[in-house]
Amino acid sequence: MKLLLLEDDDLLAESLVESLKDSGYRVDLATSLKAAEAFMATEAYELAILDLGLPDGSGLDLLKRWRQSGQGLPVLILTARDTWEDKVVGLEGGADDYLTKPFHEAELIARIKALLRRKSGRLSRDLTLGSVSLDEANQCVRMAEGPWHPLTGTEFVLLRYFMHHPGRVLSKEHLLNQLYALSQDAAAPNLIEVYIARLRRYLGKSSIQTRRGQGYVFVAD
Ligand code: CA
């Protein structure tokens, strides 16, 4: 699942990217409004985290432009400002949530998960589709009421992506793009086959179906 982080403070950005990666998110880091707009023009994100004070302007102006153009991506604003007026301006500008610096990274992760849950219309902590349940906090999966199986980081990221996009045919290239950051060397597409085979050991063959020549589709049964 890809997130866009717009933050020009190097130390904070580096630390946030690490925490978000540890939680299984793929992160593209932009340090200016211009860079963020370039990423948005070419990539599809599930959520954006925006700092307000950037070298080439305010994250709020970017957010207002997105909302005016109908961009409904969930947005969490990070800022050093903590007056209630700033919060009102941020929320009225179209932000979905707001976090004042300094903050605990665990709180940021919890808020991101809550926003993504809200986006997919879920209220409970576990993501359940058909007989498959994914525990996003503990990165475990189970079938029906069976035992929980722990997943590796990559298995978890891949399965979570499938479960957030059920019924959609996802190509190997699209899935690889979810797993690896733009800056990393592209992995071989057959790596996806390896991970799909591993997930099918837990899920059986019918949950992730192969569409020959097109990719894979998660089917909730
Ligand atoms: Ca800043």
What is the residue-level pLDDT of the chain in tens, covering all 221 positions?
Answer: 899 999 999 999 999 999 999 998 999 999 999 999 999 999 989 999 999 899 999 999 999 999 888 888 999 999 876 677 777 777 788 899 989 888 999 999 999 998 988 877 665 668 888 899 998 878 899 998 888 999 988 899 999 999 999 999 999 988 988 887 554 556 677 788 989 999 999 998 889 999 999 999 999 87
Q: Report the separation in Å between the CA atom of 103 and the middle of ligand 1, taken as the mean of its atom positions.
A: 14
Ligand 1 mean position, distance from CA 187 (Å) = 33
Residue 29 bridge partners (DSSP): 5
pLDDT for the residue 54: 94
CB atoms within 10 A of CB 146: 11
Q: What is the pLDDT of residue 184?
A: 55
Q: Which two tokens mark 58?
A: 């305010």
Ligand 1 centroid to 53 CA: how many Å? 4
How far, in Å, is the centroid of ligand 1 from the Cα of 63? 15
For residue 191, the model assigns a pLDDT of 84
Q: How far is the CA of 168 from the centre of ligand 1 (A)?
A: 37
Cα–ligand 1 centroid distance for 50 (angstroms): 9
Q: How far is the CA of 58 from the centre of ligand 1 (A)?
A: 9
Closest CA to 158 of 20, 47, 25: 25
- Residue 101 CB neighbours (<10 A): 13
Determine the pLDDT at residue 199: 95
CA distances in angstroms from 45 to 5, 172, 185, listed in the order given: 10, 18, 20
Within its chain, how far is the Cα of 112 from the centroid? 8
From the CA of 60, how far away is ligand 1's center (Å)?
Answer: 12
pLDDT of residue 62: 94
Cα(120) to centroid of ligand 1, in Å? Answer: 30
Residue with tokens 């904070």: 12
pLDDT in the model for residue 146: 86
Ligand 1 (ion): residues with CB under 5 Å are 8, 51, 53
